[in-house]
Structure 1
């Protein structure tokens, strides 16, 4: 259940809420997790606006964007990494209405160690997340969960 954080100078994006929805939906689709409430409600994007002057590269340009995606360990193989970075970069440029933004958009893919993130007060392992997803799928289908 990825968390996406975007950092950009205030005013970069006209519709931050739609961008957050688009980013979360894209990550969920590329990750290829089941379309169930557990993942839909817990794959989220946070848009962080930085005041002018709080962001700069060496040349003083403050138009860079940083996107950090946190997933559980092993969620993204190399093919998914390539697709995700390409698609998130395109979303950022489109949301900013700036076709030059891809050259200034950093996408960082970060993995939480097994058991290294929590939800509902519990630090989840990958196996626990898989079991919870299977249980939810079974309950949605009206079947007992399979181990």
Structure 2
């Protein structure tokens, strides 16, 4: 199950658009991991919004990077193959562009994907490996996921 952070300037996303972003980003991240985004898994996939002043992000030239968005997606180690990461980056960027209604937003959207070792994360007192097995089992039990451990 992914953990997602969205860093964006204050006012870029309304409360309504944040809800849409959260659901859509969690959905594409779960699919990239080979899991169907069931209500159960979506509820356990959290999206944290970090709002900052426009002048808080600067380009390498020292100028304000107006409209800069950074999406950081953490997934369990080994769940994302190269093609899955590439598609996840494309999908996340498209979601931001669609949500803002600004086709040029793609140029200001940076997507960073990280993988966390099985013992480097947890939820409800379970470490990653146990939690992934549990989530895959939940998906398989409901017939809503492939149960595969890696997507290429």
Q: Is TM more than 0.5 here?
A: yes
**1:30-69 aligned within 5 A:** 30-36=32-38, 38-57=40-59, 58=61, 59-69=63-73
Gaps of 5+ in 1: 142-147
Say if 2:24 and 2:95, in contact at 8 Å, map to a contact too: yes
Stretch deviating more after TM superposition (90-99 or 34-43): 34-43
Shift of 1:101: 1.1
2:89 is aligned with 1:85: yes
Gaps of 5+ in 2: 144-152
Aligned with residue 27 of structure 1, among 18, 29, 33: 29
- Superposed CA RMSD: 2.1
Say if 1:38 and 1:133, in contact at 8 Å, map to a contact too: no
Say if 2:120 and 2:128, in contact at 8 Å, map to a contact too: yes
Pair 75,64 (structure 1): closer, same or farther in 2 beyond 3 Å: same
Say if 1:6 and 1:46, in contact at 8 Å, map to a contact too: yes
Shift of 1:30: 2.6
**1:7-22 aligned within 5 A:** 7-14=7-14, 15-22=17-24
Structure with higher RCO (Cα < 8 A, 6+ apart):
2
When the two structures are superposed, what TM-score results if normalisation uses the length of structure 2? 0.80
Q: Which has the higher helix share?
A: 2
Aligned with residue 75 of structure 1, among 49, 74, 79: 79
